[in-house]
A and B are shown apart, each in its own frame.
Chain A
Amino acid sequence: MPDANQTSLGTVLVVDDDNLSRRCLKVFLEKAGYSVLAATGVDHALELLKKTPLATLDCLVTDYRMPEKDGLWLLKWLQEQDSQMAAIMVTAEGEKQLVTASLRQGACDFLDKPVDARLLVAAVAKACELTRHHRNMARAESDVKAIGRIQQQMVGNAIPDCGLSVELCYHPSHEAGGDYLSLFPLGGERFLVLATDVSGHDLRAAYLSAYFQGFVRGMMEAREPIEKVLAAFNRFLLQEAGDQSSEVTSVAVCALVLDRAEGRAKSLSCGFPMAVYCDGVREVRTLGDLWSSPLGWFDGTVDEPVSVETLPTGRFYLWTDGLEDLALQLGASPMGLAFALLNGRRCGMTPIWMKKAADDILFATVQVAPGGEREAGFYPIFFARYPGSDYLKVDAHQEEWSRTLKIALPELTDTRVFDILLCAREIAVNAMRHGCKGCPDQQSTFLMMCDPASRLIRVVISDPGPGHEFDWQEHKRKTEEDLIDEHRGLMLIDMLSTRFETSRRGAHVEMDFSFDDLATAIAS
């Protein structure tokens, strides 16, 4: 036994049926400063372990050859009970073939009989260290999981019931991270929505995210403008939170200030995907043109916010880059994925393709109007600006529309997807080739939206061209009767869409499609 005044270096369970050998192991280890529990065989060891929990032991030293059950059996049992505890197998000459089997059962070292005291103490010291390391790691992992759970609860609870309708989808793919969404009432009809993504997926990221939320809350209560708050945190990250390592700590953030009374909002993104505004009828705007660096990268001021006038039917959409990465991987639009996530959230299901997500995903919609019917109005599922020269790439664009439709609206039949794609293609090619004159410096806009309540898909395509006057009824007659080789695209759209309207002499086109197949729709 170690000296009473001496702290034990650890507790070792020694298992050996040979009295002399067992006594030698015990003495060697006790002299070196370890506490030892000695067992005459596997059954005796199991008996001892009923009174002494495995968690209080630091290492097992076991003989291989013993009557009844051998050392390998004990290793296997230990592996099942406490895989973090390191074990040493004592083998006799000629039992070297056991090495592989023992390693498979979790042994970390081997000693030859007769055991050399110096080698024994060194091996036990190493094994005890390994056990402690494994246990510390397991504890840290458990802590990270606990923090992750708290974080998930907090993300949900960060949305106070203050009259602003916010829907949030949070899909963490790591135990802890820095994705966060919080809402700050600014008095009257003004609100700040703050979406945050801190670099890293660890405790540090979770801590920094929480610190940032507190920092913003404090400064907002002091009525500082959001630009000033973000600039101050940028300075903090660069000057105070920086360490000597080469690792950069950065915070990507999107701040949205909504003034409901004024019918306006402003948004500011720093390294965060730009917020998207959809009026719920026919227009989508990305709030910003250029990607800006996250807080913590460079010194200086942050960009000016981008303003937008809002309609009561409008909604804002915010998502972390995890959603954009997944959309890229799936070859679809992040808006389509967001729409599917929202639908999944409403019916308590997670889409199967979410398994491919490599990063945490946070997505939120912020409704301009207070309360109201949650599903009402059109949600964007695809938005792009195509240069005129892209009419040659329309096949690739069509593929992306197709994948997005199938992800966003898996209930659509192949026939209905075909109808939408064919009509969208007709108008998109016309917009790029004629409206934009095929020029790379002129852009057409392409928007697909969905209203789940009325079960309609809306496609809105605009180009900057002057359009042209035409008499659709006269063209239709000529196309059918005189067999002229044009306008068949319009005939198709007229037949396949539920609603087809043009404005600006055809430079702006809107088409609605019911979810149902045409035959079903006509019948009903």
Chain B
Amino acid sequence: MKQNLDITTGTLTVAFPGDVLSTNVDSLRQATFAALESPEIKNSAWMTLRLDLTAAKMVDSAGLNLIVSIIKAVKSRGGSVRATVGNPNVYRTFIFTRLDKQLELAQAA
């Protein structure tokens, strides 16, 4: 999983390598929170977290729960979350579970 911190725009980008599912969510959760908790990221002045989900073709409920945990963590520091998805079915998944009310959702062209 890749992360990139853009100091100029105050945006931290976390890119998921593929699907976010019950079978890989534990390792993704560990990697995401290890990154968010690392001193370099934690002490930086970013306010927006951009989740890059363009490689995901499916996000199941376990994957959605991870995203909810991330939203909560970011909100607790006063930040906001943007998610970019590539697959229209993943986009629908976010809409149907009302997560678009909790983050800024965009579909990649």
Contact = CB atoms under 8 A, between A and B. Distances in A.
A429 B65 CA distance: 15
B102 A491 contact: no
Contacts of A489: 60-61
Contacts of B96: 491-492, 495-496
Given A429-B60, A488-B64, A495-B96, 10 more contacts: A394-B22, A395-B21, A415-B88, A415-B89, A429-B22, A429-B62, A483-B68, A483-B71, A483-B72, A492-B97
Interface of A: 391-392, 394-395, 415, 418-419, 421-422, 425-426, 429, 479-480, 483-489, 491-492, 495-496
Contacts of B62: 429
Contacts of A479: 97-98
For the residues of A in contact with B, the DSSP-based class is helix
B52 to A, nearest CB: 21
Interface residues of B, number: 21
Given A422-B60, A422-B93, A495-B96, A486 B65 contact: yes
Nearest to A429: B22
Interface in B66-93: 68-69, 71-72, 88-89, 93
B107 interface: no
Residue picked from A391, A394, A425, A488, most chain B C-beta under 10 Å = A488
Contacts of B97: 479, 488, 491-492
B65 to A, nearest CB: 4
A491 B68 CA distance: 14
Most A Cβ at <10 Å: residue of B61, B68, B88, B89: B61
A463 to B, nearest CB: 16
A492 B92 CA distance: 10
Contacts of B44: none
B58 interface: yes
B4 interface: no
Contact of A491 (B71, B98, B101): B98
A367 B83 CA distance: 52
